[in-house]
Amino acid sequence: MAEQQRLQEAGYAPIHFSSLFPISQYIMVGQNLNGPAAAPVGRAKAAPVESLTQLRAVLNGSARLLILDLEFFQAGNQNHIFQLAGRIYGQAEKFNYYFFNSQQTETRQLQFLRRYDVPFSQAQQYTVKHQLPRIINLVASLAPDYLVSWDNSQDFKALQRAANRLALPKQNRFWNTIQAIDLEKLVAQQVWNGQKALGLKKMCQLLNLLPFKFHQAQHDVRAIEAILKFYSLDLSRELLL
């Protein structure tokens, strides 16, 4: 309630999951998300970030960074999207989607239906097929300059497969049009010369960050944000102080 009041006082129109099911956290948007998936208009792709020095400059500048994380379940030999969450770095804007999929086990399907009090006849409204165009419109309304993930290879492949099935135009696929920062890869290259890469949990432990509930997308994006805040510091100056 405190967050809702703060957003309203700041002039935002918060929407929660009862009106944009199944978003489970507050987001601020100023447009209808239900239309066809649209591409951002007139936005040039931001410059790539290839070093931690460049990352710090971006984090301390005016750029907007959307932190994104996906969770999956496996059916057959393929991973399917179960959850997608995002938040704008340093801001209150965030979203969290869960998806229904008929390839889930019956137990997981029932858990979804009971959790959100949805009859099976309406469950198809909450599949990736129906929700991805809405998410694309949401991301367009947030207008991020960068898309930050911790190892984005599997995430982007899954989004690409879903977009291909829906025949979405390539210019509408934000994971292609927005400059991406794979934070895991960047840290591995800059800190360990590309010799190794750490999982998100291990990296948070290494930096002695507060514990998070890992492998839940809404918590993973918070963990990634905490790592970004660490790298936003001028560490040589911080140590001197």
Average pLDDT estimate for 178-199: 92
* pLDDT computed for residue 38 by the predictor: 62
- Specify the range with the lowest mean pLDDT, choosing from 101-115, 131-145, 148-162, 179-193: 101-115
Burial class (CB in 10 A: 0-12, 13-18, 19+), 34: exposed
Decide if 158 contacts 79 (C-beta within 8 A).
Answer: yes
* pLDDT computed for residue 15 by the predictor: 39
Average pLDDT estimate for 232-240: 66
Q: How far is CA 14 from CA 25, 64, 108, 151, in A?
A: 9, 19, 30, 30
Over residues 30-82, the pLDDT tens digits come to 345 666 666 555 578 999 999 999 999 999 999 999 999 999 988 878 889 99
Pairing of strands 14-15, 27-28: antiparallel
Alpha helix ranges (H) inside the chain: 2-9, 52-59, 106-116, 128-142, 153-166, 174-177, 183-191, 200-206, 217-231, 235-240
* pLDDT computed for residue 213 by the predictor: 85
Quick check: 236 pLDDT over 70?
no
* pLDDT computed for residue 210 by the predictor: 81
Distance CA(144)–CA(133), nearest Å, equals 17
Over residues 125-168, the pLDDT tens digits come to 899 999 999 999 999 999 999 999 999 999 999 999 999 999 99
Decide if 208 contacts 186 (C-beta within 8 A).
Answer: no
Decide if 204 contacts 211 (C-beta within 8 A).
Answer: yes
Structure token digits, residue 227: 């790592």
Three-state DSSP class for residue 36:
coil
Q: Which residue has the tokens 């179960």?
A: 82
* pLDDT computed for residue 10 by the predictor: 47
Average pLDDT estimate for 173-197: 93
CATH fold group of domain 2-33+49-240: Nucleotidyltransferase; domain 5 (3.30.420)
